[in-house]
Amino acid sequence: MFFVDRMLGRLARKLRLLGFDTLYLAQASEEQILQLCKQSNRTLITRDRALHMRALKNGLSSHLIRSDNWKEQLVELSSRFDLSNTERLKRCSLCNAQLIPISIDEIRHRVPLYVQNTQSEFFVCPVCDRIYWAGSHVQHAIEEFRRLGI
């Protein structure tokens, strides 16, 4: 779906929390970025006007971000892309992998008691092993998205 350019790491994590397949590489050459976008049919999200223009000249989908604030960046993106109808809590915000539902019995020792008592659905990232549940920071992010109208 998206390839998020460097300096936009925070935006990348938020897009993943919204459920979007979002590739982010802190270090990649312009050639690598354009090649990756082409190969995996991703929209480039960048603050670099020259790279943006180059992507468009190459027939790629690209979006130039103006704000340096992640909230405003999300609002900018939502004016062009529908960010509302996604599957939240489905993707790891750190590594972009799709989360796998997991039984509380398998992770009980890793989850605080009050969470065990108040949450019924848990997910694990198959790559970094991070555990997610609806009451974690994900819920906080979703509330922020709501305030932003997303």
| Contact residues for Zn ion, defined by CB under 5 A | 92, 94-95, 125, 127-128
Of the chain, the end-to-end C-alpha distance in Å amounts to 18
**Could you say which DSSP state residue 91 is in?**
B
Q: Please count the other Cβ atoms lying within 10 Å of the Cβ belonging to residue 32.
A: 11
Shortest approach of Zn ion to residue 93 CB, angstroms? 8
Nearer to Zn ion, 60 or 92 (CB): 92
Shortest approach of Zn ion to residue 125 CB, angstroms? 3
Shortest approach of Zn ion to residue 89 CB, angstroms? 13
Q: In what order do the strands lie in the sheet with 43-46?
A: 22-24, 2-4, 43-46, 62-64
Token couple for 49: 């006007």
Shortest approach of Zn ion to residue 14 CB, angstroms? 15
Nearer to Zn ion, 7 or 127 (CB): 127
Nearer to Zn ion, 11 or 125 (CB): 125
